[in-house]
Each structure stands twice: as C-alpha cells, then as structure tokens.
Structure 1
C-alpha cells in the first residue's frame, strides 16, 4: 500500500521550472531512493512533500490523504520527518534542546523523554553530548542530531536529503546501518543521496531524476545493473 504518492508535481522557483511533472510512490515499509545529478530536482522533490515549496500543479498524498496545500507544521504532525540537506541544526542550542524541538507537537513529557531514550539507543554519542552546544559537534555528530531530531516526532515516513554529505566513510557506514535498522523496525524511508551506489544497495526501489523529470524507475538491484545508470551515476 502506498504511503506517499506524488502525482504530476510541478514546482517553480520564480521563472525556473524545477519539477516538471514528477510522479513517484513509496509503499509502507519500503526504502526508496531518488538519484540524480546536482540540480536535478532531488531536494525540491523532498521539499514539495514537506510544503517547504509550493506545488503549482499536481498533487501529493500521504497515507491516503491529500496534503498538497497543507502547511509544513501540519505535514510534520501527520508523521513525516525531514532530515534536510546541510543538517540545519540549531547551532546555539544544546543537543537536548534540538531534540526537544523535534517533539514540538508532543504534550506528554513522559513520552518525549521516552522518545529521547529511543534516539539515544540509535545514537549513544548524543547522550554523551546532551548539554553541549550543537554547533560544537563534529559533522558526523551533527548528522546524528539531525536524524535524531526528526525521529523525535515519531514519523512513519522519514525523508533524508544527502545524509552522508561531508562525512568520513566510517561515519557514513554507521549512518546507513542505522537507517537500515530503522527500516527493519517498520519505518518507511525516502532517501536522496550523493552516493548512488550505497543508496541503491540499501533501497528496495529507486527513481532517476534529471532536469526535474523522472527518467527511470526500477528495483534497486536492476538500477545497479543498468548500464546507463552505471555510467552516469555509479562510475
């Protein structure tokens, strides 16, 4: 059953036609990756789901409900977590305060504490840095915090934009292991990732986007074996 569906989505930045009829779906329990060159429309696709950019034409559905015109805070409250490109943590706030912001819609303090412990189960380093200013964390720790903040809202769908960017290979491996564990525990993931091969190894299915249009959709392993995909994105 489809958890997320985009139907013929068009997005503009001023006079720039950034998405040109993007259609894709993510089923419950899947990991789906969106690959493409810089400027292809990957980040804009995620932002269109979160209502961070307006959809001029087309529709977005989440869990059977149209959310095309819903404001960002309502989309988040419905169960869509977003880990943006560049992490976008609050550098002057502590790790604890960043995580608490992720649970902005929760009113049960006991549940917020329980969520935080769940996050620490994935990222023990964050517990060690709990009262440290987020801006003083390493790049890998900041990425862990960005993911942890998104998890604080208990999302059923997690959107991740370039989670490995700028990180050491050993940290990237740790991040991807955690993403796999989140999926095994029932979370659905839509992943944008510069390392297309690693993303496809993790994913069930993938889409290739170019110049704001979906060029190809297939099982992840089929995309790994596709000669055109190999040449363009996996070389």
Structure 2
C-alpha cells in the first residue's frame, strides 16, 4: 500500500483552478520530487496535502487513512510533516522555543529533549544558537531550524517546499545531504525544488507539473535523461 495517494485532486484559489486532477503516489521509503515552473502548482499540491487548503474534489489518503478534509494539526499528528516555502519559523521565538513548538503535542519532556538533540546533531549550528531569536538567523540557519522543527513530531513523511531557495551553494549541498540522510534513516520525502537537477539527483521518482496538471512521471534517472525535461528544467540544450 502506498504511504500517500492523491486521486483526481482539484484545488482552487477563489475562481482560479490551481490543481486540475492531480493523481500521484509516494511509496514508503522513497524520495519523490515534484518539478515544474513557477505557478505550476507544486506548492499548492503540498498545501492541499497538509490541510492548509482543502480540495474541491478528489481524495487524499495517508497510510490508508482519508485526510482530504482533516485540519493541519490532525494531519501532523498522523505523521505527515510539512516544511513550507519561506520556512515559516517564529521569528520572535528563540531557536529552542521554535523546536519546542514543533513538539507541541509531545507530553514526555525526555522525548522532546531527545528529538531536539537529534535536530542539533543534524545541524550543529542550531545548538550554538538555541537562545537566539529565529528572526536573527541567516537564511540557511532558518532552513535548518524549519527542518529540525518539523522532525520534532517524528514524521513518517516529510514534505519540503523549496529547501534550497536563496541559499549559498555550500548550504544547498548540506541541505540535500541531510535530506538524503533522513531518507536513509527511514523518512519518506516529498520534495518540491526549483533546482530540478539537484532534486532528481537524490530522488527515486519524479512528477512534472504544468499548469496544475501532471504531464510526466517516471524514475528520476529517466527524467534526467528526458530531452524535454533537460531543456525545460535542467538547463541542458
């Protein structure tokens, strides 16, 4: 059984038909990448899955459970984490407080501490800044915090929306190394990433979105070799 399944999902922003019948799956243990141009519907797909907006029709199931009409906090409790585009940290809270907010339903303080330590092991820079306000961190540090905060709920599926946006190349490589490490440790990943070449270099499979529709799906290796994908998204002529 697929961990995540979308079946004929339609979503709207007012009268704008943003998703036009999206059907896709994510299998346990995979990294699946969504690629496409700006406005193609990638972020909307993640927002619809995480409950930030509800589909007008279609079905979304996670681990065999219908989640199409669930509220975001319930979906998080089910084991689905979402790191949104722009990171979405709490700028006036400290790094420690941001991480604690990520574990808002975890009652065991020992477990909270263990998960915080794990996040700081992945991103040692966060440990150095536990008392610093989130809004004073660099862009790369904020992205580290956003990922570490999402891990505080120990998600089975982690959705990442443009994790490399605005980061220096050395930090992009670090973030992608961490994504691969998390996957190696058993976290399933759904990745939206403008840097399609980097995304497809670590993904198992991928979907190409255009104007709210999936126009191509294949293994990541085949998508990297696809001439139309190379020209449109990989900068290869």
Give the shorter-chain TM-score range.
over 0.9
1:114-137 deviations in Å (ceiling 9; x for gaps): 110111110110000000001111
CA distance in 1, matches of 2:139, 2:65: 36
Gaps of 5+ in 1: none
In structure 1, what is the equivalent of residue 26 of structure 2? Answer: 26
1:179-221 superposed Cα distances (whole Å, 9 cap, x missing partner): 0000000000000001000000010000000000000000000
Q: Which runs of structure 2 are paired with 1:81-160 in the superposition (5 Å)?
A: 81-160=81-160
SS at match of 1:2: coil
The runs of at least 4 consecutive aligned structure 1 residues that moved more than 4 Å come to none
Matches within 5 A, 1:29-48: 29-48=29-48
| Alignment-derived partner of residue 167 in structure 2 | 167
Q: Unpaired segments of 5 or more residues in structure 2?
A: none
TM score, norm. by length of structure 2:
0.98
CA RMSD of aligned residues (A): 0.5
Count of matched residue positions in the alignment of Structure 1 and Structure 2: 235
Quote the Cα distance in structure 2 between the aligned partners of 1:120 and 1:205.
29
Normalised TM-score (structure 1)? 0.99
CA distance in 1, matches of 2:74, 2:134: 26
Shift of 1:54: 1.3
Q: Distance in 2 between matches of 1:105 and 1:68?
A: 22
